[in-house]
Amino acid sequence: MLLHKLKITLSGGGVVPELAARKHLELIPFVLEQALEESKIRIEEIDVIASTVTPGLVGCLRVGSITARSLCTLYSKPFLGIHHLEGHLSSILFSKNYPKSPFLTLLVSGGHTELIKVSDRREMQRLGRSYDDAAGEAFDKVGRLLGLSYPGGPAIAKIAKKGNASKFNLPKCKISDKKGGFLKYDFSFSGLKTAVLRLVEKFNKNGDEIPIPDIAASFERVVAEVLVERTIKCAIDNSLDNIVVVGGVAANDTLRKMMIEEAWKKSIKVHLAPLNLCTDNAAMIGAAALFRLKFRQHESSLELGISGRLPIDQANSLYEKNPPF
Ligand code: KG4
Ligand code: ZN
């Protein structure tokens, strides 16, 4: 059984936490009913009931987790609380060529941009992250700046097809290292968003028409270049010859093509999450649960709660007898 978050958006763009939690509560019985109906599986036949427990919007996580744990008690099923990022990582289990570990994962979503080394037995170590906006968040904010629909990622990708990606030179922001130089595997996207804002303001001030397709294409190219360059550098430095790309932004065609092309030049193989499983979905949470249960005999305590934050390196703590929250 797969219970996962549903998103609600407003015309202004973005997810309103309180409304999203309320919608979860309203819709969860119908989602459950529909999932059982469409899969033609009785609840008694299900192996494991899982829900995302961290990180995310606490109101939404609470609805899924309480429902899952109630069903586990009612039907005597094992419960697994899943780390949302491990869920994204598990979307690659649905691709035809799952890589052997160790490999490097680029996880790019609306809330996270992380480089994660996955070793044997699926031990996860974060090697890089964004210090401000996540890549998907940058797409959403820039989409809003350009007057496009929410979420910004697919809208920018669509209009960028009509634009010239070399038209504007936008910055590739870096994070300074206290010891000097820059952090090689970390990201910053808020400066890029501000650069787009300044560009739009300049056109507005001069009374000129905003070249939306060109700005969208230039922005999309820079984001893809930054992600590809730093991911490949991280893979080479850590002797990893397989790269996995998952998360909502992994649906981006420019990023997918650029990653394959550039990695190929360095003899690195790229494994992309299936297009329909890049953005949030319940199948990836179920896959993560089955993997934990089958290969690691993991189960969560029914006392496990929810948390808005937990680094991916600490995902194993979700299966301890004394849960972390
Ligand atoms: O993984 P996801 O569904 O939710 C989170 O866990 O955050 O990712 C959603 C993000 C949004 O920011 C959305 O704009 C972005 O993924 N996204 C894309 C594309 N499709 C979705 N970004 C760029 N290109 C796309 N085709
Ligand atoms: Zn997600």
* Residues 179-230 pLDDT 10s: 999 999 999 999 999 999 999 999 999 999 999 999 999 999 999 999 999 9
- If one residue of 52, 92, 109 were mutated to test the ligand 1 pocket, choosing by the most ligand atoms within 8 A of its CB, it would be 109
Contact predicate 225/172, CB 8 Å: yes
Same domain, 224 and 287: no
Residues 299 and 189 in one domain: no
Q: Is the distance from CB of 28 to CB of 4 less than 8 angstroms?
A: no
Are 163 and 211 in contact by the 8 Å Cβ rule? The answer is yes
- Co-location of 107 and 228 in the same domain: yes
Per-residue pLDDT tens over the stretch 80-93: 999 999 999 999 99
Q: Is 20 in the pocket of ligand 1 (CB under 6 A)?
A: no
Structural domain contains residue 92: no
| Contact call for residues 291 and 283 (beta carbons, < 8 A) | no
Q: Look up tokens 């780390």; give the residue.
A: 83
My answer on whether 135 and 160 are in the same domain is: yes
The confidence score (pLDDT) of residue 9 equals: 47
CA distance 159 to 146: 11
Q: Which domain holds residue 44?
A: 10-87+279-319
Q: Are residues 254 and 304 in the same domain?
A: no
**203 domain-assigned:** yes
Q: Flag whether 188 is in a domain.
A: yes
Tally of domains in the chain: 2
- CATH value at residue 14: 3.30.420.40
Contact 258, 228 (CB under 8 A): yes
* Pairing between β-strand 2-3 and β-strand 103-108 as defined by DSSP bridges: unpaired
Instruction: Share the mean pLDDT of the chain.
Output: 94
Find out whether the beta carbon of 51 lies less than 6 Å from any atom of ligand 1: no
What pTM was computed for the model?
A: 0.94
298-315 average pLDDT score = 96
Q: Is residue 314 part of a domain?
A: yes
Judge if 152 and 255 occupy the same domain: yes
Helix, coil or strand: residue 20? helix
Same-domain pairing of 103 and 80: no
Ligand nearest to the CA of 256: 1
Q: What is the pLDDT of residue 98?
A: 86
